[in-house]
Every structure is written in structure tokens, then in C-alpha cells.
Amino acid sequence: MEKNEQTWYSAITETAPNSIRLRGYRIDELMGHISFAQAVFLAFTGRLPSEEEGRLLDAILVSGIDHGTTPPSTLAARTVASCDVPLTSALAAGILAIGKAHGGAVEECMEVVRKTVALADDAGITLDESAERMVAEAQASGRRLPGLGHRYHTADPRALRLIELARECKFRGRHIPALQAIESAFIKAKKKSLPINVDGAIAACLCEMDFPSSAGNGFFIIARTAGLIVHILEECAREEKMRKIHPDAAVYDGPKERKLC
Amino acid sequence: MEKNEQTWYSAITETAPNSIRLRGYRIDELMGHISFAQAVFLAFTGRLPSEEEGRLLDAILVSGIDHGTTPPSTLAARTVASCDVPLTSALAAGILAIGKAHGGAVEECMEVVRKTVALADDAGITLDESAERMVAEAQASGRRLPGLGHRYHTADPRALRLIELARECKFRGRHIPALQAIESAFIKAKKKSLPINVDGAIAACLCEMDFPSSAGNGFFIIARTAGLIVHILEECAREEKMRKIHPDAAVYDGPKERKLC
Amino acid sequence: MEKNEQTWYSAITETAPNSIRLRGYRIDELMGHISFAQAVFLAFTGRLPSEEEGRLLDAILVSGIDHGTTPPSTLAARTVASCDVPLTSALAAGILAIGKAHGGAVEECMEVVRKTVALADDAGITLDESAERMVAEAQASGRRLPGLGHRYHTADPRALRLIELARECKFRGRHIPALQAIESAFIKAKKKSLPINVDGAIAACLCEMDFPSSAGNGFFIIARTAGLIVHILEECAREEKMRKIHPDAAVYDGPKERKLC
Amino acid sequence: MEKNEQTWYSAITETAPNSIRLRGYRIDELMGHISFAQAVFLAFTGRLPSEEEGRLLDAILVSGIDHGTTPPSTLAARTVASCDVPLTSALAAGILAIGKAHGGAVEECMEVVRKTVALADDAGITLDESAERMVAEAQASGRRLPGLGHRYHTADPRALRLIELARECKFRGRHIPALQAIESAFIKAKKKSLPINVDGAIAACLCEMDFPSSAGNGFFIIARTAGLIVHILEECAREEKMRKIHPDAAVYDGPKERKLC
């Protein structure tokens, strides 16, 4: 193709007749050989993940897949789905509800975690001292600290498991410790506990794997897209059109608690 | 909770303080033990996939992850992203472009494949004969057959690989043969070839795994959500705001062709 | 501009530096001289409306502006707005809820009304006879007749007023009578009343003004966009983030009933 | 209705069977008596506009109705419309492109205009002096001043006409002068001209009518919804599905320049 002022560039996927290459790899060669989470890692970063990185990203995606009928994104998606519209319309409505208040604090939390580490390095102080300064600064300027606290959970099981898994996978960077230092500094400063939430744990794990902060919000959205679609299909299959959806009146009637093995 | 006329039911995820169970399994137990694709399978069907089912669903998701700068969903997402809006706004615009004409023919193709199998069974005829009747009927009523043909590819590498992989994974049902019979019947009737595309191959594979047709369009959307997000991030990182996006003027400048091993 | 295979055409607005002409008229000349409804008429049809057409279109737009807290589009928009996202995100979610089940039956109703008139003309029968055939046909095929019935209203005040206003404005075509004939035929066939709703009255009025059916759904959407935006602003101003919105628990606390003069 | 913790309040529209009252007025009484722009004013503010306010709001809405094929919102809407999806999907995509970079600077500009007036009042200085301080401050902090400059127009005909019309309608507040003072201060500081654009003129007019800044972005969106819908209808009527839309290759083929009288 002749290059001119209209030319623009993309480094993601090269498409030609009967050939699609993601970051250089033939997509039909990737199929069957790497998992979707590994392909997502490749698409975002341009390189194949290590086994540990792939496993941790898989866990991040599993952690965000669904949260039942409580999130506003789910309620928005089901409300729109009840109007007899295409799947994509209901899904788009759900995705549009994801933002700073719900599912969209990962990028900001990655920034805070990185600043905490950088401050410790630059000032020659400990992560605990650095975290205390970050918390004090947030308090002084009235900003909420992203990655802490959850409406439902006092100990978010997804956050705890992600941090444990990062350790199992031998991620030994300073980002998870930095987030834990922030959690502790918050307790010290406010005399109340606001534990690490799933956004925070995802953020710290993504920092450990060197993702740019700008990419942070994408993973929760990919994961939750699956959950939203399942809710939309259930809404269409089980409910009447144009029904009133009472957010507190949902009762779970799926399989009882069971264990993997 | 007391049940009354406002009560509604959901069988997907049970959420309680510090506990989230997807189809009965604790999400923190799933994390690290099953892949995202396996969790998607569980979320959609209520059961854990076999190893082969998980592998085939992973391949389906990998197949749809991205198609470079050519799809209208990608161009719509990048156009909106260039306006300095949140990630979710650009992503929703991209998802809204997915429909019958682009990425959204899986459900319909599953119906056609299932009807072809059912007709063969009910009428006691071969799949080839049944497929010929389906093609003739579509022609008579002026309907396009879903799952065949692609704007870019004469032999869609993703479709070929998915069918091969289904065989490797020992799926031996009649749905993939039915789709292939439709492809052959089309050539016979029209004297031209319109090969199975990725929508068609996904549809046949989902039928082999017993997914309901209504779920069909969801998987491509989950997969492509990842690709759209990567395009949006690239647009924001590399391009000026409010630029004019010339659809034919994109040049790939990512890694050269490379092999997995 | 040199024309080539990339050239495409638009007949709506000609834009050049310091000049914007809508359907040939300078937009700065239109401003202050015609109302927004008249400009909408011009944009859709390419001609300026008569005074009566402008007045009727204004009334159509006023009729659709809002319906309080009951519609699912309003609830979806407010649910998304409660997540601290941009106005456009919440508005898009609301608009995506508009479809066949809610606000989107105008196009289909215009088709039915036009078929009823055409059948009467072609078969040399009265509108009543034609309407009876249309109702019988819809019943036989299990289709719902668009434009009749409302969840809340047994006599939709907007529909009654639109029909009255069309008469005041001297629209004397056969489309409003055709819709009324359908309403009567329905009562006769089903022994129950399903009165003309606002979608139906808008449809008949648009037919009287010769709008193409394909344009039908647009006017309600333009009108309701205003109402949705006001709800989003109220949600952001009066309510807490991430609140649970109980659809039956809204209480009106605005101005008491008052009269125009 | 019994009030409890689920109760929430809305002051916009009271709906009861066979009765819809917008801000206290029966909607069927408003229909035929006030224009859509007047109803929009009522919906936003809770009071009926004066004749001049209604005329100025009509002009604001007419000013934003369309800008041909150049805006990214139009290109996004047409790209999605070409995929054979519902009108609402394409419209939502278009609306999601409206943001700070395109059509969404009104709110911010209202804030700047109001601050300029307040600073003059508080510091006992002239609007020119206040505007110079505002421009200096924006420059120092690297912020773009909203409401000035346009990609296409060096003298935006809509902005000029709105300001003229506000004078005709006897709006004699200090907000339009404040915006003009900012325009002049910018020239003085930067030695180049960046004239008032349509966002800026709308902002100043809305300030003159005492709208809250938070409402500012809504009016352009209502207006442009009409233009986007007309583009979507034209795309579906005139173009092939899944076409490539070259942003620079559009040729206007509508009515030649003509005058209102």
C-alpha cells in the first residue's frame, strides 16, 4: 500500500486473505495451543505470558466473571434485556454502568500502587512509610483511595485468593506489598478497616506483571462481559417482558454449594 | 428473605457477605484451578466442562479475539475512542456494531445446523439430502444461509482449525458434518463456493457441546471484547484526538510473522 | 473533490468553512426563524413543514417527552447514572431500552395503518372491512397489533389529544380513520377494548404527514432523549451513588397540578 | 403509597392511569399549546419559559441539529448502522462519541463564564480584567479554554447568530460579554484568534437564562439526536451493508442553497 497522509498504523493484528496473525502469531496456530487468557495477555502486551503469568491472568478473569444480581451493571443489563431488544443492546447498557464507582478503579489503583513504590524508592523510605504518606495525602485532599472497601464484603474472597495465588505463582515484586501497606496505613490513620477489594488485588497483580496502568480497567470488563451475557440470557429465558426488576427481591435458586473435587 | 410478588429468581451466582458462588462453586476455589474459558462454560451451562470441552471453548474464544482494523466494530470503537471518552463508551459502540451482518450469525447458524440434523433424522434421509433441502428452501425464500462466506477470506483459517480441533478433541456428533453438508450442497446448487466461516464453525462446535442456540452469539462477543479493548487502548496511545479514520489506510507495524515453538 | 470508488453521498447537510446548510438552508438563517420541531421536519423530509405540520410535529414531540419513573428506559438510565459515569453513558443505556416492547412500535404501526388503507383501496371495501381483515389476520398468525394498549393507561391522554389535534390542524386523510377502524375491529373480534396508545397515534399522524414508515421510530426517541436527560440530571443531583432503585417506590414531589392559563 | 426506606423522589413527571403531568401541567394540555423547545425548558427547569427564552432555546436546539458527515459521532453512528442493527444501536454509538472533544464542552464553558463574572464582581474589576486572569490561569496550568475554536470554522456561523439572537431577545446579562471578553483576552495573550464556537455560545446563552451548568451538555445532545437519526436512516436507505466509510469522501448531493423567504 502506498503511504500517504491518510496512513495510520496498528501493531495488533495483521489480516490478509486466509491469514490472521495476532502480534505475529497465526491465530489458527494459537487455537488449541494457548488458552484465551494467554491470548488476551498476548493481545495486550505483544508477548506470550509465562506459565505463571497465564495462570494469574486466568484467575483475574475468573475473579470478575459475575457477582450475582447485586451490581448495577447487571440490573441495567437485565432492565434493558426485558424490553425485547438484541443481546448487544442489553450488554452495552451493562458495560456502560462500569465506572469509577463499580469495577473501574483498577487503573487508578495501579497508579497509586506504583506511586507508593516509587516514593519509597525515591525517598529511601520503607513501603510502610510511603503508604502512610499516600494515605495522608489522599485524606488531606479528600480523595477516596481506590482498591479498598466493598459494599458487600468485609473480606473480599477474590482479593484474598488473588494475593495468595500471586505468591503461589512466585510473583515477588513490591506492588502487592505496597497495596497491603496502604491497607495497613489506612487502618492506622482512620482507626477503621477498609480491606483490599477485587479491583485493588487485580491492580496489584497487573503491576506485578508489568501491565501499563492504562490497560488496567480492561480485564474486569472482559470478565464481566461473560457474566452479563449469562444474566441477559437468563432474563430472556425466565422472565416476562417489561417486568419491574426489584433489586432486593432476587432469590438464588441454582445449584447448592459444591466443591471442585 | 420473605417471598412475595416482587420476588424473582436467578440460578447463576449466589452472593453473600464474603462469599460468591458461581453455579454452586466458590469463586475463590475456582480461581487458580480452572481457566477463564472453563469458568465461562460453567457460567453458561451450570456444569464444569470436560477437558475437551474446555479446550474447544478456549479455541473458540481465541478464534474471535481480533481481526485487525477491518471490522466495522473496530472502526466504530476507534472512532468513538478518538473523542476522548471513557473506555466503556468506545467499547459499547464497538459491541453495538456486532449483529447479523458481522459476528452475530452464530445463533441462527446453530438453528440451521440443528434443523438439518433433525430433518435427516425425521425423514430418514442422509445429511447430504437434508442439507440439499435446506439450501433449496433458503434459495426459494431468498434467505442468506448463515455461517458461510466471508468478505476477506476464501478459506477462513479459524473455521478450518476449529473443525480440525473438534475432531482432535473427539467430538463426533452430526452437527459439524451437517454444516459441511450444507457447504457442499451450496456449491452444488449455486455452482460457486461459499466456505464455512468462523461464525459457522463456532456454531457447529457449540452444537456439538449441546449449548442452546440462544447462547450462540455470546462467545464471539466475549472474545472480541478483548480485541476491541486493545484497539481502543492503541487508539488512545498512538493517535491524535478527533482524527479521521480512513478504513483502508491502516498499515500493520507489529511483530513480524513468528511461530509458537 | 475528485470522485472515485470511495465517494459516497449525503443529502442532509452541506458543511464548508463558516457555512452549514441543512437541506439547502443556512442553519444561521433557520435559527430564530423556525422552531426545533420545524427543523426536525426539514431534516427528515427535505422540505419545510406547513404551519399545521409544524404544530402537529411539535405536539408529537411534546407527547413523548417523559412518562415519569415507570418506563424501563428511565430506570436503566438512572441505574447507569448512579454509577458516576458521563451523561452520554446513562443516556445511551436508556435509549437502548427503547424497542418493540417500549416506544418502538411506531414504524410497524405505520405499516399496518398503510396496509389497511391500501387494502380498502385495492379491494374496494370500507376501512372497517379492511381493518377487520387485518385484525383477523394478526389473530390467525398470533401477532400483536402495534399501536394498541398500554400498561398504565386505559385511555392514553396523549393519543386522544394527538388525534383531536390532527383534526384541529385539518388533517383529513384516511390514516387516522384506519387506525380507529382497527381499534373498533379489535373490540369486535376480541370482545375487549385495547385503546389506541401514543405509539399508534404518532404513527397515524406521521402517515397523515406522509413520512416514510422507516422514519417512524425516530420521533419518540428524540422526544424521550430530553426526558431521559432530565432524569439523569435529577438522579445525579438528588441521589447517592450506587443506590438500589426500587421501581415501585418512587414518589412524585414536584409541583402540584396546575393549568396553562 | 406507604413510605419506607426504599422510597425515592422525583419531581419531573407524575404519572397515574390516564394522566401524565409534566412539572404539574397535563401533557395533553401542553400538546398543541407549547412547542417542544418550551416543553424541554419546562422539563429542565420546572417553569414555563418566557417567549424570549423559548425562542432562544429553539435557536440553540436548531443550531446543534446537524453538521453533515464530518463529526465523529455521525461517522460512528453510520458505521454501526451499516451493520444491519436497530436504530437505537447506531444512535447510542453516535451519542457515546459526544464528549469533551466534540459537543460536550458546554458545561465546562458555563463554569468558566460564571467564574469570570464572579471574579469580576468579587474583585471589583472589569470583565476584561477578569477574563485576562482566567486566560492566564488556564495557560499557566496548561488547560484548554472550552468554548473557543473549531476544527472547520474560523467564524462559526451558529455562534455568531446565537449571540445576535440573544441580543434581539433582550438578554442583557453579563455572561455573553464575559465570554466575549475571554475571546479577546485569548487573542491578546496568544497573539492568535480562537473564536467563540457553538459550544461556547450555547453556554453563554444558557447562563443568561439561569440554567445550572450541570444541565449544559444536554441541549446539544437532544438537538444532535435528530441529526444522527436522519443520518442513520439515510445510511440504511442509500448504502450497502458493511461498507467502508471514508470520512473524506462524502459528497453533498442534497438541495442547492436556498433562502427561507
| Paired sense of beta strands D250-252 and C8-10, if any | parallel
- At D100, is the pLDDT very low, low, confident or very high (cuts 50, 70, 90)? confident
Q: What percent of chain D has pLDDT over 90?
A: 91
Alpha-carbon distance C104 to D91, whole Å? 14
* Half-sphere exposure in the Cβ direction for A130 (13 Å, CA): 23
Residue B243 pLDDT level (bands cut at 50, 70, 90): very high
Mean per-residue pLDDT, A91-108: 93
| Mean pLDDT confidence for D83-107 | 94
Report yes or no: A221 and B88 within 8 Å, Cβ to Cβ: yes
CB contact under 8 A, B85 and D73: no
Q: Alpha-carbon distance A210 to A52, whole Å?
A: 13
pLDDT band at D133 (very low <50, low <70, confident <90, very high): very high
CA distance A168 to chain B (A): 10
Check residue D1 and give its pLDDT: 62
**Is D101's pLDDT higher than 90?**
no
Question: Chain C closest CA to A162's CA: distance in Å?
Answer: 25
CB pair distance less than 8 Å for B6 and C86: no
User: DSSP string covering D132-143, please?
Assistant: HHHHHHHHHTTP
- Measured between alpha carbons, how far is A111 from C248 in angstroms, rounded to an integer? 41
pLDDT confidence tier of residue D6, bands split at 50, 70 and 90: very high
Regions of chain C short of the pLDDT cut 70? 1
Between chain B and chain C, the number of residue pairs with CB atoms below 8 A apart is 15
CA dihedral D7, D13, D15, D19 (to 10 degrees): 160
Q: Using CA atoms, how far apart are residues B249 and B238, in angstroms rounded to an integer?
A: 15
User: Which residue in the block uniquely carries the three cell numbers 426459494?
Assistant: B140
Helix (H) or strand (E) holding D26: strand D25-26
> Which of A:47-86 have CB within 8 Å of C?
72-73, 75-76, 79-80, 82-85
- Averaged pLDDT score across all residues of chain B: 95
Of D6, D89, D248, Cβ closest to residue A88: D89
d(Cα A184, Cα D70) in Å, to the nearest integer?
53
pLDDT per position as a tens digit, D153-171 = 888 999 999 999 999 999 9
**Are the C-beta atoms of C126 and C184 separated by less than 8 Å?**
no
A168, pLDDT greater than 70 = yes
Say whether A247 and C245 touch across the interface (CB within 8 A): yes
Average pLDDT taken over every residue of chain D: 95
B158-212 pLDDT, tens digit each: 999 999 999 999 999 999 999 999 999 999 999 988 999 999 999 999 999 999 9
Q: What is the mean pLDDT of residues D125-137?
A: 97
Chain B nearest-CA residue for C246: B6
Global pTM?
0.97
Question: Does residue A118 sit at the B interface (CB-CB below 8 Å)?
Answer: no
Q: What is the pLDDT of residues A194-212, one digit of tens each?
A: 999 999 999 999 999 999 9
Confidence at residue C15, expressed as pLDDT on a 0 to 100 scale? 95
Query: Cβ-count burial of A40 within 10 angstroms (0-12 exposed, 13-18 middle, 19+ buried)?
Result: buried
**Distance, CA of B151 to CA of B74 (rounded, Å):** 15
pLDDT tens per residue across span D209-232: 999 999 999 999 999 999 999 999
pLDDT interval class at B1 (50, 70, 90): low
Q: 3-state SS of A49-94?
A: CCHHHHHHHHHHHHHCCCCCCCCHHHHHHHHHHCCCCCHHHHHHHH
Query: What gap in Å lies between CA B231 and CA B254, rounded to an integer?
Result: 13
What is the residue whose three cell numbers read 476584561?
D128
CB C92 to CB D87 under 8 A?
no
Q: For residues A245 and B36, give the distance between their C-alpha atoms in angstroms, rounded to a whole number.
A: 29
Give Cα A232 distance to the centre of its chain.
Answer: 21
Nearest CA in chain D to B100: D84
- Provide the pLDDT for residue C154: 87
What residues have CB less than 8 Å from D76, skipping those under 6 apart? B76, B79, B80, B93, D93, D94, D96, D97
Restricting to B residues 130-189, those with a Cβ less than 8 Å away from any Cβ of A are: 152-158, 160-162, 165, 168
Which residues make Cβ contacts (< 8 Å) with residue A18, sequence separation at least 6? B153, B154, B155, B156, B157
Question: With an 8 Å Cβ cutoff, are A12 and B255 in contact?
Answer: no
Domains of chain C: 8-49 (no CATH), 106-215 (1.10.230.10)
* CA nearest neighbour of C233 among C123, C126, C33, C94: C94
For residue A85, list chain D residues with Cβ-Cβ distance below 8 A.
86, 88
Give pLDDT, residue A2. 73
Which pLDDT tens digit goes with each residue over B231-242?
999 999 999 999
C-alpha cell read off for A112 = 497509586
**Distance in Å, alpha carbon of A126 to nearest chain B alpha carbon:** 31
- Per-residue pLDDT, D151: 81
Write the residue in D82, D90, D246 that is nearest to B246 by C-beta. Answer: D246
Substitution target from C79, C89, C239 for chain A, most A beta carbons within 10 A: C79
pLDDT, mean of residues B63-68: 98
Question: Cβ–Cβ of A43/B66 closer than 8 Å?
Answer: yes
Cell of D159: 455562534
- With cut-offs at 50, 70 and 90, classify the pLDDT of residue A85: very high
